[in-house]
């Protein structure tokens, strides 16, 4: 690992700490750093901190899933949404919402299941006798995504008005429902996914050039593919269950990281985790404060920042 | 050492290779010649286990290839394939270092030894000073040399080269073959090389395999295989044969 990468890594960690602290202080009620009174303590520890930490975990999860899937599919534009992973997770969460509303753990479990089923469906559809072809995979992802979208829309007709509003807000990307357990689940998923993807980073570096290449140079291509799919499903499932569809994070963050440190996945994966966390914490702070005391869905903010930034990056590279 | 015994390879019902047998000894350079679609690339893919064989047997150092792990095969056999393109910004050094994959563990970073291997390979391929350039900004020929450098950086004793000279200029074509020859002399490395240049084959091959419709049409030393009848049979062209005044090896001239 070169010195520049180490400096950037520590710099990013510092930036993340700064983002977390400033997000904790900013909001409808501005908090001081020291000497909080009881009410301020309660706002910080019961409401704001779970939400900020959840945002950081969601950002990290979506960004590492994007980085992994992009390298696997040899396409810098691939991301969880394109492959139907997010919509699978959204459908799973929705089923949990409709069928098992009182069980908090049902949401992430069904979301992970939905993400995994969607990924496997896409994988099966894309795999032909002559092997895996990237164009076919992306096309299958688009088909699965649109199919799942229509199922989700049909299911919303079953919801009553209050649930529908809450669900719609969640679908647009919403961190306001953060709970302590939700944070633990999202933290666990993001850490596990980052470790799995980092452990496969060297293999992914070869697969980025071509599956045949990777195979020739000793990568167990099938195993890496399954591990990346599983880790991305886990990350996206946990993120979507907690916060709905927070778009553009999986696309823009790895792109930004690659522009700074190059394409080596041993750096891209962990750095994407940190930058993804910073990005979502930053976007959520805007969502909480821009029109306070009312709130914007964080997904709308990430898309508002992400879309123009992505066009700029695309033109620049 | 690779021993190939009566192997066949099929795509669906279509047999692409039939009853191919030969042996690649230590330090030996075998050149594969044949018309387009004769099965040359298929044979190279079969030799490192990328394509499954439908009959016959391939042994690597007297062990059946099918019983050896991917990592172990890659430690022994390095490949230069025909197409290598990436849409990600990868530097030349990163690309060449990726050839050291089998020598590191999970989460692993390259050691100084790995970097030395990569730098030597770059120097050998006339690419000193290219380390920090981006792959997708290189010309076709430069990229081809980087791909060769990656194969050399693996330290594998067997090289499988699929048209490694396709995009190279005259000087680098000869460089490529000289490099392979030097490796074979200095450390007993062996190679199977596909080319369409009969004269390069005549100069550098220890043995030539002439493939036609998935079968071996002729096999042996260049002077035995490169005959007017064989070339007419396999390529359907008339040629004149004499000897290269510089090296004394057989020289092939097309009659247009």
What are B127-156's pLDDT values in tens digits?
999 999 999 889 888 998 999 999 999 999
A&B contacts, CB < 8 Å: 86
How high is the pLDDT of residue B53?
94
SS3 B253: strand
DSSP B20-72: EEEEE-TT-EEEEEE-TTSSHHHHHHHHTTSS--SEEEEEETTEEGGGS-HHH
User: What pLDDT is recorded for position A317?
Assistant: 63
Using the beta-carbon criterion (under 8 Å), do A202 and B106 form an inter-chain contact? yes
Write out the DSSP string of B165-210.
Answer: TTT--HHHHHHHHHHHHHHHHHH--EEEEE-S-HHHHHHH-SEEEE
Note whether B106 contacts A71, CB cutoff 8 Å.
Answer: no
Tens digit of each residue's pLDDT (9 = 90 or more) over B33-80: 999 999 999 999 999 998 999 999 999 999 999 999 999 999 999 999
Reply yes or no on whether the pLDDT at B85 is more than 90: no
Q: What is the pLDDT of residue B20?
A: 95
CA distances from B98 to A28, A133, A241, A269 (A): 50, 23, 37, 17
Q: Min CA distance, B242 vs chain A (Å)?
A: 39
> Per-residue pLDDT averaged across B85-107, rounded?
85
Q: What is the pLDDT of residue A119?
A: 86
| Residue B106 pLDDT | 64
Q: What residues of A are in contact with residue B50 (Cβ under 8 Å)?
A: 212, 215-216
Q: Is the pLDDT of residue B108 over 80?
A: no
CA distances from residue B26 to B30, B61, B88, B158, B190 in whole angstroms, order as listed? 11, 10, 37, 8, 6
Shortest distance, CA A275 to any CA of chain B (angstroms):
19
CATH of the domain at A136: 1.10.3470.10
Spell out which residues of chain A touch residue B154, defining contact as CB-CB under 8 Å. 217
Chain A: residue whose CA lies nearest to B134: A262
Q: Which residues of B touch A222 (CB under 8 A)?
A: none
Nearest to A262 among B78, B89, B98 (CB): B89
Nearest chain B residue to A131, by CA: B51
The residues near A103 (Cβ < 8 Å, ≥ 6 apart) are A96
Q: Residue A217's closest chain B neighbor by CA? A: B74
In the sheet where B55-60 sits, what is the strand order?
A: B14-24, B2-11, B55-60, B63-64
Q: Is the dihedral of CA B129, B132, B135, B139 positive or negative?
A: negative
**Could you give the percent of chain A with pLDDT greater than 70?**
97
Residue ranges of chain A with pLDDT lower than 70? 1, 129-134, 317
Supply the CATH number for residue B22's domain: 3.40.50.300
Between helix A49-73 and helix A134-156 the angle, nearest 10°, is 140
Å from B55 to nearest chain A CA? 19
- Cβ(A281)–Cβ(A56) below 8 Å: yes
DSSP B127: -
What number of other Cβ atoms are within 10 A of residue B233's Cβ?
13
Stretch B158-170: mean pLDDT: 90
Contact (CB<8Å) B70/A205:
no
Chain A hits for B107, CB-CB cut-off 8 Å, are 198-199, 201, 266
Residue B134 DSSP one-character state? B
Supply the pLDDT for residue A83. Answer: 82
For chain B, the domain total comes to: 1
**What value does the mean pLDDT take over residues B164-170?**
88
Per DSSP bridges, beta strands B207-212 and B29-34 are parallel
Give percent of chain B with pLDDT exceeding 90.
Answer: 68
User: Residue A119 and residue B228: Cα distance in Å, rounded?
Assistant: 57
Q: How many residues does chain B have?
A: 256
Facing A264 at nearest CB: one of B75, B79, B94: B94
- Give the pLDDT score at A2: 75
Residues 6+ apart with CB under 8 A from B78: A216, A217, B99, B150, B151, B152, B154, B156, B158, B159, B160
- The Cα B190–Cα B200 span in angstroms is 17
* The pLDDT of residue B36: 93
CA separation, residue A261 to residues A6, A96, A255, A270 (Å): 11, 40, 10, 12
User: Which pLDDT score is estimated for A31?
Assistant: 83
Question: CA-to-CA distance for B182 and A203, rounded, in angstroms?
Answer: 30
Interface test with A, best of B70, B71, B137 (most A CBs within 10 A): B70
pTM assigned to the model: 0.88
φ/ψ of residue A248, rounded to 5: 75, -15
Local structure of residue B91 (DSSP, 8 states)? B
SS3 B5: strand
> Which residue in chain B is spatially nearest to A209 when comparing CA positions?
B86
Candidates B86, B102, B109; nearest CB to A218: B102
Say yes or no to pLDDT of B82 above 80. no
Distance from CA of A206 to the nearest CA of B (A): 6
Q: What total number of domains does chain A contain?
A: 1
Range of the domain at A64: 3-316
Q: Range of B141's domain?
A: 2-254
């Amino acid at each position: 690992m070169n010195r520049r990468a180490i400096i950037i890594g520590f710099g990013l960690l510092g930036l993340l700490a700064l983002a977390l602290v400033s997000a904790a202080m900013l909001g409808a009620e501005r908090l001081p750093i020291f000497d909080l009174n009881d009410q301020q303590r309660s706002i910080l520890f019961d409401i704001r901190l779970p939400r900020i930490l959840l945002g950081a975990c969601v950002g990290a999860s979506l960004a590492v899933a994007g980085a992994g899937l992009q390298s696997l599919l040899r396409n810098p534009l691939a991301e969880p949404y394109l492959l139907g992973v997010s919509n699978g997770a959204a459908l799973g969460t929705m089923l949990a919402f409709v069928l098992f509303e009182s069980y908090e753990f049902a949401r992430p479990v069904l979301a992970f299941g939905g993400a995994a089923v969607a990924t496997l469906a896409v994988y099966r559809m894309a795999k032909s006798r002559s092997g895996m072809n990237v164009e076919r995979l992306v096309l299958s992802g688009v088909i699965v995504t649109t199919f799942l979208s229509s199922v989700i829309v049909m299911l919303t007709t079953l919801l009553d008005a209050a649930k529908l509003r809450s669900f719609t807000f969640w679908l647009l990307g919403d961190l306001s429902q953060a709970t302590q357990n939700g944070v633990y689940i999202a933290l666990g998923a993001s850490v596990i996914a980052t470790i799995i993807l980092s452990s496969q980073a060297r293999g992914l570096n070869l697969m980025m050039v071509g599956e045949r290449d990777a195979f020739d140079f000793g990568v167990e291509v099938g195993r890496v593919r399954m591990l990346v799919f599983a880790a991305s499903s886990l990350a996206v499932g946990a993120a979507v269950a907690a916060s709905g569809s927070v778009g553009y994070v999986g696309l823009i963050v790895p792109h930004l990281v690659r522009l700074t440190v190059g394409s080596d996945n041993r750096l891209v994966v962990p750095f994407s985790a940190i930058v993804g966390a910073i990005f979502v914490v930053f976007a959520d702070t805007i969502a909480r404060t821009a029109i306070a005391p009312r709130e914007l869905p964080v997904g709308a903010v990430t898309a508002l920042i992400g879309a123009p930034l992505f066009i700029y990056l695309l033109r620049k590279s | 050492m690779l021993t190939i015994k009566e192997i066949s390879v099929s795509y669906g019902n279509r047999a692409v290779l039939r009853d191919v047998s030969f042996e690649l000894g230590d330090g030996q350079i075998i050149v594969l010649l044949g018309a387009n679609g004769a099965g040359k690339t298929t044979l190279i893919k079969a030799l490192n286990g990328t394509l499954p064989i439908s009959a016959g047997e391939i042994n690597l150092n007297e062990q059946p290839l099918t019983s050896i792990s991917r990592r172990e095969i890659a430690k022994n056999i390095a490949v230069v394939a025909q197409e290598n393109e990436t849409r990600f910004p990868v530097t030349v050094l990163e690309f060449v270092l990726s050839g050291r994959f089998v020598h590191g563990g999970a989460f692993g970073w390259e050691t100084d030894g790995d970097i030395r291997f990569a730098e030597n390979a770059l120097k050998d391929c006339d690419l000193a000073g290219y380390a920090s350039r981006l792959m997708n900004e290189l010309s076709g020929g430069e990229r081809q040399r980087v791909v060769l450098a990656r194969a050399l950086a693996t330290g594998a004793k067997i090289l499988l080269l699929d048209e490694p000279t396709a995009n190279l200029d005259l000087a680098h074509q000869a460089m490529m073959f000289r490099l392979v020859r030097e490796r074979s002399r200095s450390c007993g490395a062996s190679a199977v090389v596909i080319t369409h240049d009969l004269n390069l084959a005549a100069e550098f091959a220890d043995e030539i395999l002439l493939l036609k419709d998935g079968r071996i049409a002729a096999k042996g030393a260049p002077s035995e295989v490169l005959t007017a009848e064989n070339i007419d049979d396999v390529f359907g062209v008339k040629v004149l044969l004499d000897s290269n005044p510089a090296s004394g090896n057989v020289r092939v001239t097309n009659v247009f």
